[in-house]
């Protein structure tokens, strides 16, 4: 497995664990201190859909999709750029996990705006890099028979 994929899958497992923990707290909210449903409702969904599902799928995609290696790019993609995207995705999600419950508890202030803007920009930047890096790796290839036909004529 690529080192990048390993990091992404490990981060996704951590998000799965924390998303489930918050989900559990939301489920038994009436019996424990705190208002977990109010604090965590949309955030819990995003921890699991973005942090867990999406990051797991993209981590595996970086590893398994076809790649064109070159001496300049032994992995078939620019590792540093991909690492920046992973950092941006996870920091962006962390900002959301901090900012959203803060805002949902009545703190509709400048800090909430700043942290939610930061979250949005980081996650959009990460998505942009993922799309640009993976796009060429899903180019369609002519079926084998057609390729042979073309080389004969």
**10, 17, 34, 42: residue in contact with ligand HEM (rule CB under 6 A):** 42
The site for ligand HEM, by CB under 6 A, has a size of 13
State how far the Cα of 96 lies from the Cα of 98, in Å rounded to an integer: 5
CB of 94 or CB of 125, closer to ligand HEM: 94
Q: Determine if 23 is a binding residue for ligand HEM (CB under 6 A).
A: yes
- Residue 92, both tokens: 């962006």
Query: Is 24 a residue that touches ligand HEM (CB under 6 A)?
Result: yes
C-alpha 81: how far from its chain's center? 14
The correct pick among 5, 44, 90, 95 for binding ligand HEM (CB under 6 A) is 44
Residue 102 makes contact with ligand HEM by CB under 6 A: no
Scanning the structure block, which residue is given the tokens 């901090």?
98
Give the one residue of 4, 8, 11, 48 binding ligand HEM; rule: CB under 6 A.
48
* 3-state SS record for the chain: CCHHHHHHHHHHHHHHHHHHHHHHHHHCHHHCCCCHHHHHHHHHHHHHHHHHHHHHHHHHHHHHCCCCCCCCCCCCCCHHHHHHHHHHHHHHHHHHHHHHHHHHCCCCCHHHHHHHHHHHHHHHHHHHHHHHHHHHHHCCCCCHHHHHHHHHC
Based on the shown chain and the rule CB under 6 A, indicate whether residue 117 belongs to the binding site for ligand HEM: no
Minimum gap (Å) between residue 50 Cβ and ligand HEM: 10
For ligand HEM, what does the binding mask look like between residues 51 and 80, x meaning CB under 6 A?
-x----------------------------
49 binds ligand HEM (CB under 6 A): yes
Residues that bind ligand HEM (CB under 6 A): 20, 23-24, 26-27, 37, 41-42, 44-45, 48-49, 52
């Amino acid at each position: 497995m690529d080192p990048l994929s390993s990091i992404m899958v490990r981060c996704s497992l951590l998000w799965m664990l924390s998303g489930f923990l918050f989900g559990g707290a939301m489920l038994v909210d009436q019996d424990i201190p705190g208002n977990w449903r109010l604090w965590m409702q949309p955030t819990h969904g995003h921890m699991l859909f973005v942090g867990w599902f999406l990051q797991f799928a993209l981590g595996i995609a970086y590893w398994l999709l076809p790649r064109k290696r070159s001496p300049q790019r032994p992995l078939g993609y620019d590792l540093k750029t991909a690492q920046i995207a992973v950092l941006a995705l996870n920091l962006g999600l962390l900002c959301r996990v901090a900012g959203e419950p803060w805002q949902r508890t009545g703190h509709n202030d400048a800090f909430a705006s700043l942290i939610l803007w930061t979250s949005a920009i980081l996650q959009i930047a990460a998505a942009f890099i993922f799309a640009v890096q993976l796009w060429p790796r899903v180019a369609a290839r002519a079926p084998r028979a057609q390729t042979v036909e073309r080389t004969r004529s």
